[in-house]
Structure formats: C-alpha cells, structure tokens
C-alpha cells in the first residue's frame, strides 16, 4: 500500500487547490464525500490560513491537503513595471482608473519559515507544493512530521527531481490543466505535454504514486487516467461551479458560456503562465507578454482596473482560470461531483 493509499480516502481523488475560487467550504464538502479536499494557501495571509484550517477541522475529521507555492520572489524591476503600466494605460484611461492608484493585488508568498512554523503547529495530513519544493531545510522539517508531501511535475525530469528530493506523491500536471502551470526546472513551455503523453511517461520514470491532473472532468476521464497508470486523479475545473466554491459570478458565467470560448496559457495576470478562458486583455495584448513583470508582480498594476471593471459586470481584466475540459462544470454540490468522478475508479 503506497503512502497515498494509506491516507485512507474512500476515493483516490484530490480536489485541486484553486486560490481565489475556494476556501474551506469546498474542501470540507469534498473531504466529507470521501475524497481529498484542498486549501489553497497562496493568496492567504497566515492568520487567515490558520482560520481556514481550524474551520475545516471543526467540520470534518477526514484528511485534507494544504497547498503552497514554492516560487522565488523576484527582484522588483522598475523599468519592466513601467513598461507594463504603459501597456495597460489605455485600459486604465478607458475605465477612468488613475494610473497611480494604490493596488490591492493579493500578495502570493512562497512557503517559508513562517509558513512552516504554522504548519508545525497545525500539522495538516497532506501538504502539496506547486513550482517545485521548499528549500531542503524546510522540506526536511515538513517531512519530520510524517506529513504526506505531494508536488506537481510537468515533465519527466521534474518528476524524477521531485522523487530525488523526497516528495511522496507526484502530480503529473498535463497541459490541459487550468490555473498556473507548475513547471520549475525550465521556463520554456515547449516541453509541456498533454496528460495522455505525460502521465504514462512519468508513471514509468518514478516509483512514487502518481496522480493525473489536466483534462479530467468526469467518470470517463477518471477511467482513462487509471488506464494510463494513475494511482489517483486531481480535478479542479469540474468543482468551480459548485455552490461551495467561491468562484465569482463573472467567472461562473464564463465557464457556462454556451459559446465555449477557448482557454490559453497567459502570464498577464500574475507573471507566470496559467490557463484561463480567453478574454479581452488576453486577446488584445496576446496571452503571453514579455512586458508582464515576474511572478507574482504582474497582477498589481491590474488590480484597480480589474476591480472597477468587475464592479460593472465586466470580466475583460479578470483571470478566468479554467482547464481545457470544462464539460464537467455543473452547478451541483461538491459531493455529487465527487461521486460522479468516483464512479470511474475501478
């Protein structure tokens, strides 16, 4: 029995952490349905995260996952920031947003000593990491608690690296997945593979349990992932329209759009490539812009504009994260989405 099986989940299904679209309510519902609920920590200050974990523990005794980003915070680059603000200036003018408006973009902080201190106090059963792993000393500390450590790999080389560093579970993140790409060994996107190609190659390359992520929306997708050797699946997009998610009304409307606008990888909203539904900003600036400041700085210059537009019911400047397969998005309780997925697991 592998370390993932030992969690004792009814189903080897992980609800993908989706910062900005969910908190403890969704995670609780998924945990209670027998899968692994996840709390995204990336956009929460630590006291708020502690509150969420306490709320979750008060509502369920099932195991759960807390997800952190592991990026290296960038050096500010005044010239790039200025070029980025210049590129956005016409939009700010159109919406009468003053260019120097103080920004309220949520900071995205990596897993650090303070986060480790809090996790030491709260000891969640599972921690998952995106963009690599924490520094070795912090990772050793996490592992000393017996916490199950999961981390995303987008290439075979990343999966091997995670295994060598001591991760317990590899999440094979196919190119179909919504939200931020988890790549960390190289910046280029050319080597990024679809789930059909990535999953079996990672399966062969490592001994660790492998979860499949990207494009899985229903029982058929779960069956297919299992056929390709997955020990479990991680599913995000299919949970975005659940009543327990905090997905905004604008985001829900885009997900339900009968025109099915395509998704693309974009760095405009955060500085790192992430998959979302193509909207006006992505169309007009191109989804990937060399002007966007490094992760996570790009979002700051957009924050006031985005807030103004959203208040007017406009999602032109809003990240509308979504995977390529949103056919599983239904306005159903998370327990029902979970049960529907679980029917695919043999």
- Applying CB under 8 A, the residues found at the interface with its own copies are 155-156, 174-176, 190-191, 193-198, 200-201, 204, 214-218, 220-221, 223-225, 227-229, 260, 262-265, 278, 287, 323-325, 327, 344
The least distance separating its own copies from the CB of residue 217, rounded to whole angstroms, comes to: 7
25 vs 222, beta carbon nearer its own copies: 222
Alpha-carbon distance values, 331 to 33, 241, 313 (Å) = 16, 5, 20
DSSP assignment of 76-103: P-HHHHHHHHHHHHHHHHHTT--TTPPP
From CA 313, how far away is CA 308, in angstroms rounded? 9
CA distance 239 to 338: 9
Which residue, 278 or 314, is less far from its own copies as judged by CB?
278
Give whichever of 36 and 198 is closer to its own copies, judged by the CB atom.
Answer: 198
- Of the candidates 218, 211, 204, the one whose C-alpha atom is nearest the C-alpha of residue 232 is 211
Q: How far is the CB of 12 from its own copies (least distance, A)?
A: 16
CB-CB contact of 252 with 240 (8 Å): yes
Query: Closer to its own copies at the Cβ: 23 or 287?
Result: 287
**Cα separations in angstroms, 16 against 35, 221, 237, 271, 323:** 11, 15, 8, 21, 11
Query: What tokens were used for 176?
Result: 């179909």
Query: Between 266 and 294, whose beta carbon lies closer to its own copies?
Result: 266
Q: How far is the CB of 49 from its own copies (least distance, A)?
A: 32
Helix (H, G, I), strand (E, B) or coil at 332: coil
**Minimum distance of its own copies from residue 322's CB (angstroms):** 11
Which lies closer to its own copies via its Cβ, residue 201 or residue 246?
201
Residue 145 phi/psi, 5-degree rounding, is -85, -5
**Pairing of the two strands 148-153 and 126-130:** parallel
CB of 264 to its own copies, least distance (A): 4
- Distance from C-alpha of 177 to C-alpha of 128, rounded to nearest angstrom: 16
Buried b (16+ CB within 10 A) or exposed e, 281-290: bbeebebebe
Q: Which is nearer to its own copies, 55 or 265 (CB)?
A: 265
Q: Which residue, 29 or 175, is less far from its own copies as judged by CB?
A: 175
CB of 332 to its own copies, least distance (A): 18
Question: Least distance in Å: CB of 268 to its own copies?
Answer: 13
> Cβ atoms within 10 A of the Cβ of 260, count?
11
Question: Cβ 170 to its own copies, closest distance in Å?
Answer: 17
Cα–Cα distances in angstroms (integers) from residue 97 to residues 3, 298, 306, in the given order: 51, 17, 10
**Residues paired with 277 in a beta bridge:** 263
Nearer to its own copies, 150 or 198 (CB): 198
Q: In whole angstroms, how close is the CB of 188 to its own copies at the nearest point?
A: 9
């Amino acid at each position: 029995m592998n370390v993932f099986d030992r969690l004792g989940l009814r189903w080897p299904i992980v609800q993908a952490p989706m910062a900005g679209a969910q908190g403890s309510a969704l995670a609780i519902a998924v945990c209670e349905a027998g899968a692994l609920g996840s709390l995204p920590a990336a956009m929460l200050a630590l006291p708020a995260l502690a509150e969420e974990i306490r709320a979750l523990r008060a509502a369920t005794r099932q195991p759960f996952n807390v997800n952190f980003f592991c990026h290296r915070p960038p050096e500010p680059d005044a010239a790039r920031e200025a070029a980025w603000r210049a590129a956005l200036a016409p939009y700010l003018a159109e919406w009468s947003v003053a260019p120097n408006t103080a920004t309220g973009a949520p900071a995205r902080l990596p897993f650090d000593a303070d986060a480790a201190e809090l996790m030491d106090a709260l000891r969640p059963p599972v921690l998952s990491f995106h963009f690599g792993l924490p520094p070795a000393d912090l990772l050793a500390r996490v592992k000393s608690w017996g916490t199950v450590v999961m981390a995303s790999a987008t290439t075979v080389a990343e999966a091997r690296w995670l295994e060598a560093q001591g991760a317990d579970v590899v999440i094979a993140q196919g190119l179909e997945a919504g939200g931020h790409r988890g790549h960390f060994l190289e910046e280029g996107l050319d080597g990024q593979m679809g789930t059909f190609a990535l999953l079996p190659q990672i399966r062969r390359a490592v001994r660790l349990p492998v979860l499949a992520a990207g494009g899985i929306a229903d029982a058929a997708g779960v069956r297919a992932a299992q056929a390709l050797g997955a020990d479990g699946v991680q599913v995000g997009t299919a949970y975005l329209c659940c009543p327990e998610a905090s997905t905004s009304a604008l985001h829900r409307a885009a997900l339900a759009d009968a025109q099915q606008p395509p998704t693309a990888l974009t760095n405009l909203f955060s500085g790192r490539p992430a998959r979302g539904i193509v909207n006006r900003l992505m169309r007009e600036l191109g989804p990937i812009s060399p002007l966007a400041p490094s992760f996570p700085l790009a979002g700051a210059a957009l924050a006031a504009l985005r807030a103004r537009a959203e208040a007017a019911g406009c999602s032109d400047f809003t990240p509308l994260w979504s995977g390529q397969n949103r056919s599983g998005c239904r306005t159903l309780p998370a327990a029902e989405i979970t049960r529907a997925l679980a029917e695919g697991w043999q």
